Structure 1
């Protein structure tokens, strides 16, 4: 069946990739392995440019290099949200008392963008099956709408240890993203595009 894959970039990263050797992930390879019977017409990757912490000033550079790698995939589109960083007061954990000022970083817009594209593509009859790479239960309502109102099939590639129970109950299939598949789905260390050749970040 004709499929469009919708990737929640941060849910994928924090659920399956952070602190692993699999961060240089070729998402199209991953999808081809996990969806062998489907024709993947497009992959939409939802993310935001990070605000580097003082302790990791190269964080944005690494992310931009990875996004450059993703852009070598012809059928992949990157849709950006944004980050908000602000200071807030948080309570200390017992037995300590009082409050401490912390820097809170929030990624905004990706879940809304994903939901809008999922619904819009469904209305346009752009896919037979929609595949969501996320475990975010905030996507429940658009997933229900696609299945019940638009009559489309919808599946979940789960990057987290345990898939959301509410999402499981409302999709046609769930496949967990496992280490074995990730290890077979990496870009080569060196890639090239219209700007020249580039390498996987050394600290990865």
Structure 2
């Protein structure tokens, strides 16, 4: 079964990678282990470039090193949205629960574009008959409509590799199969600590 995998990088990271030692993740190794019978033709990885912060100025360097590792995999392509950071006023949580509104100024960061990019490529690939099976690595209910179209209009098989504890109620009825992404699978799908590409040798980030 010709298979394309669509990875919501933000959902994957916050669902099962943050605060773990498994961030140096080989996406092809993970998908192959979870779907050994599938012919994985393409893995599309959707994310946004991060910016350094006063608390973590090296974050962009680590991300670019990970992109470099992903680019050694011929099946993987990287599709970038962007992060939008701005100052907003939000209610204080404790006061809100007491029935009072106390505004606090906070910095809010949102990822923009990835869900639209996933939907776009998913639909284009289905229209081009590029796959028999579309596998979504996400639990984002915003993807319900494009997944529904791919299943019902194009007759494709839908799989979900779920990075979170529970499956979205919006997505669950659309999937022909659902598999959790467990820590053991992540641990067994890590890149080597030292890697080589056309530019030369590079290493897994020390903080990972």
> What's the TM-score once normalised by structure 2's chain length?
0.96
Which whole-Å CA distance do the structure 2 matches of 1:66 and 1:137 have between them? 27
Q: CA deviation at 1:100?
A: 1.6
Match in the other structure for 2:28: 28
1:76-91 aligned within 5 A: 76-91=76-91
Q: Which runs of 5+ in 2 are unaligned?
A: none
| Alignment-derived partner of residue 69 in structure 2 | 69
SS in structure 2 opposite 1:106? strand
SS of the residue corresponding to residue 169 of structure 1 reads helix
- The answer to which of 69-78 and 86-95 deviates more is 86-95
2:194 corresponds to 1:167: no
Say how many residue pairs are matched: 204
Q: Which of residues 112, 116, 120 in structure 1 aligns to 2:120?
A: 116
Report the secondary structure of 2:195's partner residue: strand
Partner SS, residue 164 of structure 2: coil
TM-score, normalised by the number of residues in structure 1: 0.98
Q: Please report the RMSD computed on the Cα atoms of aligned residues, expressed in angstroms.
A: 1.0
Measured after TM superposition, the shift of residue 94 of structure 1 is 2.3
Aligned partners of 1:140 and 1:38: how far apart in 2? 23
Q: CA deviation at 1:98?
A: 2.1
After TM superposition, give the deviation of residue 97 of structure 1 in Å: 5.4
Distance 1:173 1:200 in 2: 33
- TM-superposed CA distance for 1:25, in Å, is 0.4
**1:14 maps to 2:14:** yes
Deviations 1:56-114, CA, capped at 9 Å, x for gaps:
11111111111111111011100110111111111112248522211111100001000
DSSP-derived class of the 1:161 partner = coil
**Structure 1: 5+ residue stretches without partners:** none
SS at match of 1:166: coil
Q: Which residue of 1 aligns with 2:130?
A: 126
Q: Which runs of 4+ in 1 moved over 6 A?
A: none
In the alignment, the residues of structure 2 paired with residue 130 and residue 93 of structure 1 have an alpha-carbon distance, to the nearest angstrom, of: 40
Q: Aligned partners of 1:152 and 1:23: how far apart in 2?
A: 31
Cα offset, 1:51, TM superposition: 2.1
